[in-house]
Every structure is written in structure tokens, then in C-alpha cells.
Structure 1
Amino acid sequence: MPLYASPEPTERSGLLPVPSPKPEHPKEPKRITPLELPTHNKVLLLAGVWTATSLASLNMTMVATLMSSISASFGASNQSAWLGTSFLLATTAFTPLYGRLCNIMGRKWANLTALVLFGVGTTMCGFATSLEGLIVARFIAGIGGGGLGITSSVIAADLFSLRQRSLLQGISAVFNGAGTGLGGPFGGYMADRFGWRWAFLAQLPVFAISFALSVWNNKYYTPGKGASTWEMAKRVDWAGSATLLVAVLNLLLMLSFKYNSEKAWSSPEVIATLSLALAFAAIFVLTQLYVSPEPVLSRKLLRMRTPMIVGANNFLVAVCNFGVTFYFPVWFETVALKSAAEAGMHLLPNAVASSTGSLFAGWIMSRTGKYKTLSNIFGIVPTLAAVGISMMHSGTPEVWQWLSIVPLGFGNAVVFQTTLIALLASVGSSQVAVATGFAGLFRCIGQVCGVAFGAAIFQSLLFNQLEARISGPDAAEVIAQIRHDAKILPSLPPRIREEARQSYAYALRAVFIFW
């Protein structure tokens, strides 16, 4: 037998060769990839992040039914729109930043940062002692609230394949829809029963549960984290977020000066804020194109056709969606003279329709893998809602009042789901977080524009109608009271109450028709 040949095996030979001993090395902890995360951890993690996004959605719609109670508490009804716009202002400026933070800090810490900010802001809302303090607290909550939506989408995208994500996004939308739908009734009920402050404070135990689930179950690793806090801080696009914040803030201030305070276009306040808005918008674009190392608006995505189409689509859908849903409960409080709780209940059909539309779109896409035709067909459905809502009056049948908003929720939900999947399918896996923030920026700008321009139209027309309809020696004082506190309408003398109702109806109809 040759010297190099293996000896013949015997019945006492081992079945497997004995490996040669290797030198000892200290063991590094195994890094779990998203797909390797155990199923129970995936389920509990998604439950935690989706619960948080549900609270964020609840806070967006809840304020619509709290505005009358809050404005009566502080005596500033004509400035109460800032309760909604301050939250949306923060989400607009900081939401796209979270797409980058998911890569810089890691998914877990980006999500927990958003959750903590949201919880702190909500707590401050419950203890606010002035309208200005409440607006600041809403702004802080908005910084976190916008990040919850982005980080939850990125985490879900990490854990499952693209086709699975389509159905998963539908399930996620059920949580969002639940928050959106329950926000109005919950806010109205808490305001009527316990006071508006408890609408914020009652959420804190749910925050704690969401935080615990996210901390204990987010155990997977994603590459790209900075080696140190300083390194991570250098990669954040602070210039982009700051310039976008200042641009949007000055746009809102200009609209407030012009339409809430009735300033002329030639007034220094209007000219200054409009000039600053345009200047900082231009600076924001320049920082994104030439300055920021990791801009919130990815230069790569700006050169791609699908992300730009999806961004424009998200902007327009958000403008329509928020412009209508923010003022829909106001119609029932001021025209139909319903309680805040009952007015908020009329948002429930929209939430049910939104959840159903998301699940429907997710199911169709998971079965067929197609999304373009679905988006094109259902993109025109919200028009039916706009027509139906704009035709409402005090004598409209109850069924119409309840169901007119259904096409809005269903159609917009289908469009949001299909465009998100189209966006994710058009980019590589390394760009998922940035692309999600990219679409979120356009959506948030649309939300701000929907509420802000809606408020401008509403306040301007309401003031003009009240001036034309109410006369007398104390007319100015009565008009100011009606604008500052909508809750006084039921207690007004019959003739003035009817004129005020008609004024509100006219202004709100214009908002619905415009969107």
C-alpha cells in the first residue's frame, strides 16, 4: 500500500474523521440578521412598533375633536389650527431624517428615539398651561410621531420578502386605521367625560407597553451603524432638516398672518414670512443637491423616475386626505351641532374603509404581484367622497352623513399601499430605509399643506361670512366670540345661531370642494 494511502477501515473505526484541534479564539456574539430573527420575536416586535404608529395616527385625528374644548379653555379658537399644524410641521421636517437614522443608529435605536420623543411630547400636552405651551408640546410629539411611521415600515421591510410585505403593509394599515378612526371618538369622549387633558395622559400606559415590546424583541443586526456617537452625529443631515423646518414654519406663519389675523398682502409680517419661506426652501434644495453628505432627499432617488412619481402621488393624496378629514368633524360640531364625541364618531367609517382598502390592496398584490392597474383604478375613488361631502347640509340624511367619507378612506389606502410597494420594488435593499423616508417627506409636506391651506381658506371665508350676516352695535364682539369658541353656537340666540351655522357651512363646503 502506498505510504500516502488511508488505512483500511475496521469495525472499530469511527464513522466520521476526528477534526484536528484548532487554536482557541475568543467567541464573538453571533449577529442575527432580520430573516433569522425567531418568529415570536418578529410578531412581538411588529406588535410593539405598530401599536406606537397607531397612537401616532390617533393623535393626528384626535385633535380635530379636541380643538373646540381646548380653544374654549384658552380662549383662542382662531389659533387652534396650530394644534394640528405644529404636529405636522414637526413630522414634515424630521420624518425623512429617520430614514437616514435607521442606517446611522440602527433600526432599534432610531425607533426608540422616535418613541421616547413622542411619549415626552404627549405627556407635556397633558400638563400644558397655555395654548403656546400646548403647541410646543405637539411639535415635540410630532418629531417622534413622524419617525414612528418610517421606522416601523423599515423594520417590517427588513423582516419579510417584498411579496410578503404587500400583505404586511395592509395589516400595518389596520393599526393605523384603528388609530385614525378611534382618534375622533376617543378625543371627543375624553373631552366630554374627563376633560381634554386626559385624552393625552390616558395614552401613557400604552406607550410603556410599546416601548417594552420594542426593546425586548428588536435583536437583529443591520450594517451601516456609526462607530461612535460623534461619527453618527456627523452623518445626520442637520442642515437639511433645519432649513426645511424654517421654510415650512414661515409658510405657516405667512398663512396665519394673512388669513387668521387678516393682515394685508403688503403688511411687513406677510412679506417677511413669505420671503423667508421662499429663501429657506431654496437653501434646502441647495443643501440636498450639493452640501449634505447623506441628504434626507437622496440624490440618487431624485434622478429616478419611479421614486419621483411616487413622491408626487403621496403629496397630492395626503393634501386631499388631511384637508378633508381634519375639518370633517368640525362640520358636525358647528353645522349639525353635535357633541365632540358624536362628531368624532363620524370618522370611524373612514378608518374602517382605510383598513379595508389597505388589506384589499395587500391581498391582491400578494396574490398577483401587480400594483399599477390597482393604483390607477382606485385613484379616482376619493373624488366621489369630495363630491358627497361638499353637498352635505343640515337636512342631509343620516346615512349620507355617515357614509360619504368612505370612498376617501378606501381609495387613498389602496393608492398608498400600491405606491409604497412600487417604490420599494424600484430600489435596492440598501436603499429601503432612505426610500421610505423619501416618500414620507412628500407625504408629510402634503399633510401640512392640506391642513394649513385648509385653515387659511376656512378662517378667511368664515370671517367674511360672519361679517356679512351679523350686524349691530356689538357685531364685532359677537363675531370674535364665534371665531374664538365654536362651542358657544348652541347657546346663541336663534337668529345669530342660524347665521353662524350657515357661515360655518359655507366656509367648510369651500374647503371640501377645494380639496
Structure 2
Amino acid sequence: MSNYAPTERDPLIQDATLRPSMQEGNEEEEEEVLIKRPGPLEIPRSTRYGILAGIWVATFLSSLNTTLVATLLPTISSEFQRSHQASWLGTAYLLATCTFTPLYGRLCNAMGRRGANQAAVFFAALGTLACGLSGNMELLIAGRFLSGLGGGGIFTTSTIIVSDMYSMRSRGLTQGIQSVFNSLGMGLGGPLGGFISDRFGWRWAFLLQMPLFFISFVLTSWHLNYVTPGKGKSTLDVLKRIDYWGSATLLGSVGSCLIFLSNRFNDERPWDSPSVIVPLTLSILLAIAFVVIEIKISPEPVLAPFLLKQKIPVLVGISNFLVANCNFSITYFYPMWFQTVLLTSASTAGLHLMPNCVAISLGAVFAGWAMHHTGKYRTLNLTFGIFPFIGAVLVSTMRRDSYPAQLWLSIIPLGFGNAVVLQTMLIALLAHLPRDALAVGTGFGQLFRGVGQVSGVAVSSAIFQSVLDRELRKRIHVPDANEMISKIRHSATLVSTLPPAIQRAATESYDVALRAVFITAAFSTLTAYLVRLPIPDKSLEHSDESRPSPSSTPSSTTTSSTATPQASEPPSDDEGEEISKRVKRPVLKTSGLRPRRLSTYESADGVMDLESDRIGGSARR
């Protein structure tokens, strides 16, 4: 019989996996015992709420910066005298978001959840600070790019962290609440930016965000300490496995496409101009190189090749692209309609986005609540997925003499429907993937969404400028018509100061050009609805949350569907830190009994750890 007795230094709950019960007659021996930190499903509620608060503050700021510059462009371009570069303040942010967002699914598994999230927050904060302190347009654009590099990662890491802490069925409601912060940021970006700029100067629209970034960093530092087991790798091994070439070719391809669209349609350079041919050719070649690298070369590609062979991930990716294209086409050009057609102020034009903000929030929460209570998502998608098309059509039919109700409420179906679609498609994607591919799948979906955001702004801008130029030339026939048309095209604020006759021609031209953008967005979202029709339903159960108490019997635990032979191996921190201290304690051998585990979920805690040699999850499979 062992004479071992616990002391006040012993933890109240021992790791049942590594310390079997003591029985009389067993031989006593010395063994190292690991005292481990809890997994994501075992953390206290207060800790979970602290984590959510930290990641959601950052989510709000990331979304805020997406639309913040919309009302700051006239002031910034006037100060730096660089109006021809002003559009890059929006596209630089979205370009970085599109290019680097997929990497964070990888970094979550390489650096750990906290490390990846805090890296994203750091880059976003540094870029925002650079924007506030910039002395020229070039530094401001660079700051926007850096801010986008972190902003896209904030959303991906937040989604993965929520996926860790909640079951498939419960996380829909939680991610719906997260979407509230996302939509609040996007909805308040324009009006809040204009309000701060008018009263304190445009720089303070960036600088006032810094305390909130600090709060987010502190909250995740304090609370985000749960562990997922897996075999950690050295920093050098992690760096070797990042898809540098894939990210570089994606950045080059999308960036070259933006330059082509800007040179051809914004600056009206001819098709045979080298400044048009070179970026177009380069964009195509780099796109081909990106696909080859992802399929054949990269050890851990950002665009997982095995997902490209599966129907559901591909359909979700196409839907994400088209939905994001529609969202950003209307978000960036909707306020302009009020400024150039109704000749309202920038602040008033920005306020017209508020109904969209409220609709997105309500739609996200409703979708999460409905999936949580019904365990289904297809009916939601079929019912509310047509709403964005209805909203886009209503927006495209606005006129100067339209009723106020149409001017303020037309955008509501668009925001509500797209919020439901994005929520249901995220859950549909995750539900059809194995647990060891959730992080890679999340990055996969975000890649298509990011490219859609960039193309939504860039392609819509090209359509808008092309139609606007054609309509202005139809209506303006004064002696200096070319110079006048050029000024009107590149300065929306100039319209309100024009002589009555030219002003009428300008407002009519803007109306036609913007309607072309809205109609294109309507076709985009209708196509997305048709693409989603083949996606089947799949029951969402609380399987992740069913775990026994520490006092469960060995038989009840070992028969669990999540039990695996690897479950009894000691876990290691996926953040690269030492997660447990080793202490010498006498333990007794037991014969004929398999060791108990503290939780049946323990064997699945490392499913998103791509660095694990025991558990799968490679993007290349």
C-alpha cells in the first residue's frame, strides 16, 4: 500500500490521463506527471468572455478601418495635393487583407491562437498609427496596407478562436454576435470618420483607435491561455513552412490587376499603352504562377489543393467572392449617390449607411440564433439569400424624387440577407470539413471573400468611370468640355458648385453611372444565390460539448467517439511555450485498466494544429 499523501502544493484536480488511481498491491514507482492548463472547452465562463471581449474589440476596429477613409478622401487629398492617388487608400487596405488573410489560418496552427491574433492586432495598430502620423500620401498608403495586413488576420483568428471554444451548433450564435461588431464597424466607419474629421482633423480618426487596440491586446494576453495538444516545432521550422511564394504571387497578381484597372479606366489610357498592357499581362502570368505554386510546389499552400477538389468548399468560395463583390460595390458607391445626385453633405450621405449597419447586425444575430435552435442552415439560406438581390434592385431604382422611405430603407434587405448568407455559408463550410481542416478551411473561405472585396471596389470603379465618362460627353458640350469632364469625374464634391446647367448634366450622368454599378451588384448577388442552391443541409449537433466529468469511469471515456490511442500522450502548447511543470510524484501501476482522460474532447483539441506529427491538418493533406 502506498504511503503517498497529497500536500497543499498538489492541484485539486489531477490530470487523470497521467495519474491512474492507486490500488492496493501495485508496485510503486516514480513517474513524471504533467500539470496541464485547460483546453478551449474547459476554460471558465469568465475567461471565455474575456477572450471574446478582446477579439471582438479588435474585430470592430478592423471593420471600422475598412470604410473609414470613405469620408476622409476629400480632406486628405486636398492636404497632400494627390487626388489621383486617393483611391489607393481604400484598395491598399483591401489588397493586404485579401493577400495575407489566408496566412493566418496557417499561423494559428504554427504560432498558436494568441500569438497569431496578437500579431494581427500589432500590425493593424502599427499601420493605423502610421496613417495618423503620416506626412505624405505614400506613407499613408503604406500605413493603410500595413493596417490591412493585420485587419484581415483579426477576423480569421477570431473565427478560429470561437470555433475552438464552441461546438458547431453553438458557434453560429456566437459568430452572429461577432458579426454585430463587424457590421457596427463597417456601418460607423464613414459617419464616424466624417464626424471626427470635421471637428478634430482627419488624423484623429486614426489616432483615437490606439487605446482600443491596447485594450484588445491586454485582454487576450490575460485570458487567451488555453492549450491545444500537438507536437510543437521550432521557429525555424515554422518559418520554412509558410507559403511565401504563394502569398507573393497572389499579391502581385491582384495588385497588377488593380494597376491595370486604374490606368485603363480611371486615367483613360489607351489599350495599347505599355502602362495598360504590362500590368494586365503581369497579372495573368502571376495568377497562373500562383495556381501552379499552390498545387505543385508549396509545402503548406494558403489555397489548400484538396479543398479545390471538393464541391462544397468550392461552391462556398464562389458564393463568398460574389457576395463580397456585391457588398463592397454598394458600400463604397452608395453614399456617393446622395452626394452627387441629391447633393447632400458627406456626413448625411454617410448616415444613409446606418440602416445597412443595423440590418447586418440583426441578420447575423438572427442567423446564429436560428442555426443554434434548429441545427439547420439550408432553409435560412434559401429563404433570406434572395434578399440581397431585392435590396440591390431597390437601390438601383432610386431617383431624385423617390420617397424618403425608399432612400433610407432600400438597402436594408441587402444588409440583412448578406449577413444571413455569410453566417450560413461559414457554418456550411465548417460542417462539411473534418475537424483537422477547420483552420485551413476558414482561411480558404476568407481568401475568396477577400478577393471579392478588392474586385468589388476595383471593378465597380472601372465600370463607374467608364459609364460616367460616356454620359458626361453626351451631355456637356461647352468649349472647354474635356477639361470640365475631367474635373467632374475626379472630384465628386465639385458637382455642388457647378453652374445650374452643367450641374444638371453632371448629376444625371452620375445617376446613370452609379445605377450601372448597382445593377452589376444585383446580378452578382443573384448569381451567388444560384451557386448556393446545390449546397445540402447537414445537421449541427452539440457533439463537441458532450464530455464526461473528471469522475467518469474508464469504460465510459474510452468508448467515446473522440477517444483515440493518442489521447494519453502528453499535450504540448501550440503557442510554443512550456505549458506544464514537471513534478516528481509516486504513482502506482495498474494492470488491465486503460488510463482515464479528463475530457473526451482532449484527443480533438489539437485538430487545428498543422504542426502536429500525430494529428493531421496539413493544407496539402
Shared fold per TM-score greater than 0.5: yes
2:273 to 267, 272, 292: 267
**Whole-Å separation in 2 of the counterparts to 1:149 and 1:398:** 35
**Whole-Å separation in 1 of the counterparts to 2:467 and 2:71:** 21
- Counterpart of 2:144 in structure 1 is 138
- The alignment partner of 2:72 has SS state of helix
What amino acid sits opposite 2:454 in the alignment? V
1:72–1:487: 8 Å Cα contact kept in structure 2?
no
- Counterpart of 2:383 in structure 1 is 377
**Whole-Å separation in 1 of the counterparts to 2:32 and 2:519:** 69
What amino acid sits opposite 1:433 in the alignment? A
Higher relative contact order (CA 8 A, sep 6+): 2
- Counterpart of 2:117 in structure 1 is 111
What is the RMSD computed on CA atoms of the aligned residues?
2.0
1:407 to 377, 389, 413: 413
- Counterpart of 2:461 in structure 1 is 455
Query: Displacement of 1:30 after TM fit?
Result: 1.3
- Counterpart of 1:86 in structure 2 is 92
**Whole-Å separation in 2 of the counterparts to 1:495 and 1:226:** 70
- Counterpart of 2:213 in structure 1 is 207
- Aligned-residue identity in percent: 52
- Stretch deviating more after TM superposition (462-471 or 353-362): 462-471
- Counterpart of 1:479 in structure 2 is 485
1:340 to 342, 346, 349: 346
Query: Displacement of 1:110 after TM fit?
Result: 0.6
Query: Displacement of 1:248 after TM fit?
Result: 0.3
1:317–1:446: 8 Å Cα contact kept in structure 2?
yes
**Whole-Å separation in 2 of the counterparts to 1:500 and 1:465:** 9
- Stretch deviating more after TM superposition (394-403 or 44-53): 394-403
- Counterpart of 1:437 in structure 2 is 443
- Stretch deviating more after TM superposition (478-487 or 329-338): 478-487
- Counterpart of 1:12 in structure 2 is none
- The alignment partner of 1:472 has SS state of coil
- The alignment partner of 1:35 has SS state of coil
Question: Which aligned pairs between 1:128-167 and structure 2 lie closer than 5 A?
Answer: 128-167=134-173
- The alignment partner of 2:299 has SS state of coil
**Whole-Å separation in 1 of the counterparts to 2:231 and 2:246:** 20
1:236–1:294: 8 Å Cα contact kept in structure 2?
yes
Deviations 1:439-461 (A, max 9, x none): 00011111111110011111222
- Counterpart of 2:234 in structure 1 is 228
**Whole-Å separation in 2 of the counterparts to 1:238 and 1:167:** 35
- Stretch deviating more after TM superposition (236-245 or 22-31): 22-31
1:72–1:485: 8 Å Cα contact kept in structure 2?
no
- The alignment partner of 1:327 has SS state of helix
Query: Displacement of 1:302 after TM fit?
Result: 1.7
Question: Which aligned pairs between 1:52-451 and structure 2 lie closer than 5 A?
Answer: 52-224=58-230, 226-451=232-457
**Whole-Å separation in 2 of the counterparts to 1:22 and 1:239:** 55
- Counterpart of 1:11 in structure 2 is none
- Stretch deviating more after TM superposition (260-269 or 125-134): 125-134
1:382–1:409: 8 Å Cα contact kept in structure 2?
yes
Query: Displacement of 1:340 after TM fit?
Result: 1.7
**Whole-Å separation in 2 of the counterparts to 1:403 and 1:102:** 40
- Residues 462 and 75 (structure 1 numbering): CA distance in 2 closer, same or farther, change over 3 Å? farther
- Stretch deviating more after TM superposition (396-405 or 143-152): 396-405
Query: Displacement of 1:466 after TM fit?
Result: 2.9
- Stretch deviating more after TM superposition (127-136 or 351-360): 127-136
**Whole-Å separation in 1 of the counterparts to 2:136 and 2:471:** 30
**Whole-Å separation in 2 of the counterparts to 1:412 and 1:263:** 36
The answer on 1:509 being equivalent to 2:515 is yes
- Residues 512 and 168 (structure 1 numbering): CA distance in 2 closer, same or farther, change over 3 Å? same
What amino acid sits opposite 1:153 in the alignment? T
Query: Displacement of 1:152 after TM fit?
Result: 0.1
TM-score of the superposition, structure 2-length normalised? 0.78
What amino acid sits opposite 1:138 in the alignment? R
**Whole-Å separation in 2 of the counterparts to 1:106 and 1:23:** 35
Query: Displacement of 1:194 after TM fit?
Result: 2.1
- Residues 28 and 360 (structure 1 numbering): CA distance in 2 closer, same or farther, change over 3 Å? same
**Whole-Å separation in 1 of the counterparts to 2:168 and 2:262:** 43
- The alignment partner of 2:142 has SS state of helix
- Residues 471 and 22 (structure 1 numbering): CA distance in 2 closer, same or farther, change over 3 Å? farther
What amino acid sits opposite 1:132 in the alignment? E
What amino acid sits opposite 1:454 in the alignment? S
- Counterpart of 2:39 in structure 1 is 33
**Whole-Å separation in 2 of the counterparts to 1:61 and 1:232:** 34
Q: Which residues of structure 1 form unaligned runs of 5+?
A: 1-15
1:103–1:223: 8 Å Cα contact kept in structure 2?
no
**Whole-Å separation in 2 of the counterparts to 1:19 and 1:496:** 101
1:106–1:225: 8 Å Cα contact kept in structure 2?
no
1:65–1:343: 8 Å Cα contact kept in structure 2?
no
What amino acid sits opposite 1:466 in the alignment? L
**Whole-Å separation in 1 of the counterparts to 2:41 and 2:382:** 33
**Whole-Å separation in 2 of the counterparts to 1:28 and 1:418:** 40
- Stretch deviating more after TM superposition (459-468 or 387-396): 459-468
- Stretch deviating more after TM superposition (101-110 or 334-343): 334-343
What amino acid sits opposite 2:58 in the alignment? A
Query: Displacement of 1:20 after TM fit?
Result: 8.2
**Whole-Å separation in 2 of the counterparts to 1:249 and 1:98:** 20
- The alignment partner of 2:303 has SS state of coil
- The alignment partner of 1:420 has SS state of helix
Higher helix proportion: 1
**Whole-Å separation in 1 of the counterparts to 2:24 and 2:116:** 47
**Whole-Å separation in 2 of the counterparts to 1:364 and 1:34:** 24
Deviations 1:313-360 (A, max 9, x none): 111111111111111111122222222221111111111111111111
2:472 to 456, 466, 473: 466
What amino acid sits opposite 2:70 in the alignment? A
TM-score of the superposition, structure 1-length normalised? 0.93
**Whole-Å separation in 1 of the counterparts to 2:474 and 2:138:** 31
What amino acid sits opposite 1:255 in the alignment? L
**Whole-Å separation in 1 of the counterparts to 2:482 and 2:197:** 29
